[in-house]
Amino acid sequence: MTTAQQIAWDDTVLPFQLDRADTRGRVARLDKTLVQILDQHAYPAPVAALVAEAALLTALIGQAVKLRWKLSLQIRGDGPIRLIATDYFGPTDEGTPGQVRAYASYDAETLPGHSGTAFEGIGRGMFAILIDQGEGTTPYQGITPLAGGSLAACAETYFAQSEQLPTRFALAMAETFAPGTQGAWRSGGVMIQHMPKASPFAEGDATGGGGLLTRDDILEGDEAEDWARVNHLLDTVETTELIGPHVTPDTLLVRLFHEETPRVFDAQPVAFGCTCGPEKVVQSMSIYSAKDIAHMTTADGKVTADCQFCGAHYEFAPEVLGFEAKV
């Protein structure tokens, strides 16, 4: 892939459909968007890898939903990696990018002593997808336990359990190094989703841990054979094909699924974006008591707040927040 081709495909989500297998999907690449997300914080490598995976999942899932406003992922656990939060904001106009942001909270003292995988560093907890379609609508929330060894596996369980849609992710993320440059994170992935005409499973058919459905519990007959065949093809994908730089997403689809009659649609650009602002910060701080605000007030009489997504710094007089300044 030439430099021009790489730039054209970086930070995009490419929708596609496999007509023969009644399967839809997305191919995503995050480059500068991911760098901007991670540059806001000096995360340790395990935390950065999980944030990269969560941001990639958010871009893939967000673009697959007919979204008016925001889709969020929240991963919470009792391990040293306590929280990963992401948001995907749908494009406001045709041709404009969807916006992605993400951050993590972790215990800097206990994380270095953790000897398991990055995913195991989250511990026991929950994986949640939240969809907010904006003013006048009721937000939706779906929750599944943390299981399966990866955030991608959690997302697959969510779709099987909550949406009854067989879904598969193949993701890769890595810190890449070009000659004479510092390392930069890059990620790429494929999402496939079978669109069944019905949901034939019955109670007791679930094969996942804790009685949860898996992606393979939902289909039967020809649909199950089609799904198994497409998954077998996706199993052959290599990390270098997912994150490049030598294979474009459309070429990747031909390599993987040429026998399944792939069709591609218009690619959707994505970019780092944050919706924080003074008004939203004031609104979010309205939950605090006068005592809490007093603790947040600096010696020069200012209440400060920082956006955990983009690092923006805000300062307010206590009276702006509805409290009297303490002399």
Residue that has been written with the tokens 């999980």 in this structure: 50
> pLDDT tens for residues 137-175?
888 999 999 999 999 999 999 999 888 899 999 999 998
* Domain at 185, CATH number: 3.55.30.10
Q: State yes or no: pLDDT of 200 exceeds 50.
A: no
- Asked if pLDDT for residue 213 goes beyond 80, the answer is no
Residue 140 maps to a domain:
yes
10 Å CB burial of residue 247 (0-12, 13-18, 19+) is buried
- C-alpha–C-alpha distance, residues 29 and 71, integer Å: 18
Q: Looking at the structure, do residues 301 and 268 belong to the same domain, yes or no? A: no
Task: Assess if residue 53 is contained within a domain.
Answer: yes
Structural domain includes residue 30: yes
Domain assignment present for residue 312? The answer is yes
Q: Hey, is 115 helix, strand or coil? A: coil
What does pLDDT average to over the chain? 86
Alpha carbon separation from 181 to 6, 30, 33, 242, 296 (Å, rounded): 17, 18, 18, 22, 40
Look at the block and give the residue holding tokens 């309205």. Answer: 286
Q: Which is more confidently placed, 33 or 201? A: 33
Residue 201: the pLDDT is 43
pLDDT of residue 327: 37
Q: Are residues 244 and 261 in the same domain?
A: yes
Please provide residue 291's backbone torsions phi and psi, each rounded to the nearest 5 degrees.
-65, -45
Kindly state whether residue 326 falls inside one of the protein's structural domains: no
Same domain, 154 and 287: no
Q: Cα separation of 150 and 247, whole Å?
A: 25
pLDDT digits (tens, 9 = 90+) for 246-295: 899 999 999 999 999 999 999 999 999 998 888 887 777 777 777 777 77
35 and 178 in one domain? yes
- Looking at mean pLDDT, say which of 2-11, 41-50, 178-187 comes out highest: 41-50
Query: Looking at the 3D structure of the chain, how many domains does it have?
Result: 2
Strand pairing class (12-18; 81-89): unpaired
Give tens-digit pLDDT for 171-199. Answer: 999 987 767 667 789 999 999 999 866 44
> How many percent of the chain have pLDDT more than 90?
56
The string of DSSP letters for 229-280 reads: HHHHHHTT--HHHHH-SS--HHHHHHHHHGGG-EEE---EEEEE-----HHH
Decide if 327 is inside a domain.
no
Domain extent, residue 223, equals 3-272
Given 251, 272, 293, which residue is the final one in a domain?
272
Residue at which a domain ends, from 239, 255, 272: 272
Q: Is residue 182 part of a domain?
A: yes
DSSP classification of residue 110: T
At 229-238, the pLDDT tens digits run: 999 999 999 9
Please tell me the predicted confidence (pLDDT) of residue 4. Answer: 46
CA dihedral 25, 31, 33, 38 (to 10 degrees): 120
One domain for residues 195 and 308: no
Could you tell me if 208 and 285 lie in one domain?
A: no
3-state secondary structure 5-27: HHHHHCCEEEEEEEHHHCEEEEE
pTM for the model: 0.86
DSSP H or E run through 225: helix 221-234
Same domain for 7 and 43, yes or no, is: yes
Mean pLDDT of 109-115: 93
Helices 45-64 & 32-39 angle (0-180, nearest 10):
130
**In this structure, are 118 and 254 located in the same domain?**
yes
Domain boundary among 239, 257, 272: 272
Query: What is the C-alpha separation between 302 and 289, in angstroms, rounded?
Result: 16
Say yes or no: 134 and 86 in one domain.
Answer: yes
Residue 183 covered by a domain: yes
90 and 35 inside one domain = yes
Are 139 and 283 members of one domain?
no
Looking at the structure, tell me whether residues 131 and 62 fall in a common domain: yes
